[in-house]
């Protein structure tokens, strides 16, 4: 069966970059005048030529967001079960060569974390995160964590190593609703520079993982690239192609896009190759919303509170809150086990308060019912 790897190899990285940089003022105006945009329109909206159109893009993004999602903002919380990882990603604090303490939460520790999370706020949307270590935190471990979570949460997503289609299907039987996976970079020629060893070094296996999720009937698929490795415009043009392909191929599935800007890791401080400004982050967010009215756009606590507040009514529809990125972090103070440090340190209740002050309605639970109702109306 054909997968996205066959599709993406039709497009050269440098050629895509050149096409974006060649977009003109007229291309941007044409894109903004269209009700349904194609990939060429998206490339125009993320090009430098679109910079002077940000106010118009913000208005359109706000309009389409309100039409599709109303005034709601979905709130979720991640839980890191282990920082044990078999990969050597040069930018990540969990990489296997980093001389840090490793931990894998026991069942009792996982339950204590769930109970601690419920005390922070009425979270019903949980993201289970692990380092990529199939030997020590594989499918049976993830399945058990899902089983334990069902007592506390109704909407369960995972961010773990790419799995086989039958493994995703198996986890659906344990309550799995969604999967988030960052391709990290779509630049195949440069991929192994950042992922030299370990299971994650297989570009094709990771990229085709999204097809396997779709084949397994996963309800919601989350995508993203790590902003800081390669040119962000080219990265998200490739992601837009990927998103459009997935939506056509697995049309029953819902999709979300994440825009994680790189932060310093605990491994000696990998310095980003590319810096995305706040203005460019806004431009990309607006372009994504105008390109795809239905996609869920998510900001994590990597972003400062001011940025998240500013974008909450202009295109963003999902946010994490009061995140801890170290295993066991909800039962103890943050430690050196963190994958990265957060920028938005507000409590969940403070996030809720600030969103309500902006005229927005935080959604703690039953997000999928809200999503499906609006989609069918």
pLDDT tens readout for residues 272-298? 999 999 999 999 999 999 999 999 999
Q: Which residues pair with 297 in a beta bridge?
A: 257
Average pLDDT for 98-111: 90
Q: Which ranges of the chain would DSSP assign to H, the alpha helix?
A: 4-8, 13-21, 25-32, 39-45, 54-69, 107-120, 139-149, 165-172, 188-194, 203-207, 209-215, 232-249, 278-291, 305-311, 348-357, 367-376
List CB contacts of 76: < 8 A, sequence separation 6 or more.
123, 125, 126, 127, 155, 157, 318, 319, 320, 321
Report how far residue 154's alpha carbon sits from residue 22's, in angstroms, rounded to the nearest whole number: 47
Q: Mapping DSSP to helix (H, G, I), strand (E, B) and coil, where does residue 325 land?
A: coil
What is d(CA 223, CA 47) in angstroms, rounded to the nearest whole number?
Answer: 21
Predicted pLDDT at 342: 78
| Residues 347-357 as b or e (16 or more Cβ within 10 Å = b) | ebeebbebbee
Say if residue 373's pLDDT is above 80: no
pLDDT average, residue stretch 2-28: 97
Half-sphere exposure of 215 (CA within 13 A, CB side): 15
* Stretch 186-198: mean pLDDT: 97
Query: Are the beta carbons of 260 and 222 closer than 8 angstroms?
Result: no
Q: Please give the mean pLDDT across all residues of the chain.
A: 93
Q: What is the pLDDT of residue 95?
A: 80
Helix (H, G, I), strand (E, B) or coil at 159: strand
Nearest CA to 203 out of 222, 220, 225, 234 is that of 225
**Contact criterion met (CB below 8 Å) for 181 and 222:** yes
What is the distance between the alpha carbons of residues 177 and 213, in angstroms, rounded to a whole number? Answer: 11
Q: Enter the DSSP assignment of 187.
A: -
| Gap between the Cα atoms of 104 and 109, Å rounded | 9
Convert the pLDDT of each residue in 295-321 to its tens digit: 999 999 999 999 999 999 999 999 999
| CA–CA dist 79, 153 (Å, integer) | 12
Q: Which domain holds residue 123?
A: 4-376
Share of the chain above pLDDT 70, in %: 93
pLDDT in tens, 219-274: 999 999 999 999 999 999 999 999 999 999 999 999 999 999 986 554 457 889 99
Phi-psi sector, 261: left (phi>0), alpha (psi -120 to 50), beta: beta
Q: Please count the other Cβ atoms lying within 10 Å of the Cβ belonging to residue 219.
A: 17
Looking at the structure of the chain, the number of domains it has is 1
In the predicted model, is pLDDT for residue 366 greater than 80?
no
pLDDT band at 376 (very low <50, low <70, confident <90, very high): very low
Rounded-to-10 torsion of CA 153, 158, 159, 161: 150
| Closest alpha carbon to 37 in 208, 300, 241 | 241
**pTM recorded for the entire structure:** 0.94
User: What CATH code is carried by the domain that includes residue 170?
Assistant: 3.20.20.70
């Amino acid at each position: 069966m054909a997968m996205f790897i066959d599709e993406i190899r039709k497009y050269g990285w440098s050629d895509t970059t050149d096409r974006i940089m060649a977009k003109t003022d007229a291309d941007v105006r044409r894109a903004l005048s269209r009700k349904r945009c194609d990939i060429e329109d998206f490339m125009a909206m993320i090009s430098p030529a679109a910079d002077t159109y940000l106010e118009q893009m913000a208005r359109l993004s706000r309009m389409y967001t309100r039409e599709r999602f109303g005034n709601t903002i979905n709130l979720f919380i991640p839980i890191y079960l282990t920082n044990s990882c078999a990969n050597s990603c040069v930018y990540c604090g969990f990489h296997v060569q980093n001389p840090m303490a490793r931990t894998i939460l026991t069942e009792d520790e996982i339950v204590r974390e769930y109970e601690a999370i419920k005390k922070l706020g009425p979270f019903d949307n949980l993201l289970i995160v692990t380092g990529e270590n199939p030997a020590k935190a594989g499918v049976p471990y993830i399945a058990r964590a899902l089983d334990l979570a069902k007592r506390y949460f109704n909407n369960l997503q995972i961010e773990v190593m790419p799995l086989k289609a039958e493994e995703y299907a198996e986890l659906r039987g344990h309550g799995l609703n969604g999967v988030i996976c960052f391709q990290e970079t779509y630049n195949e020629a440069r991929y192994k520079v950042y992922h030299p060893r370990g299971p994650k070094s297989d570009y094709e296996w990771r990229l085709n993982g999204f097809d396997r999720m779709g084949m397994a009937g996963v309800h919601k698929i989350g995508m993203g690239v790590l902003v800081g490795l390669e040119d962000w415009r080219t990265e998200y043009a490739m992601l837009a192609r990927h998103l459009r392909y997935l939506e056509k191929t697995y049309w029953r599935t819902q999709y979300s896009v994440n825009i994680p800007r790189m932060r310093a890791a605990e491994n000696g401080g990998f310095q980003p190759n590319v810096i995305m400004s706040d203005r460019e982050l806004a431009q990309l967010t607006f372009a994504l919303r105008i390109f795809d009215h239905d996609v869920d756009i998510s900001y994590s606590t990597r972003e400062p509170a001011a940025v998240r507040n500013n974008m909450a009514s202009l295109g963003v529809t999902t946010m994490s809150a009061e995140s801890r990125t170290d295993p066991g972090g909800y039962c103890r103070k943050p430690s050196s086990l963190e994958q990265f440090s957060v920028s938005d340190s507000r409590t969940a209740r403070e996030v809720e308060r600030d969103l309500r002050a902006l005229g927005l309605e935080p959604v703690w639970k039953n997000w999928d019912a809200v999503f499906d109702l609006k989609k069918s109306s």
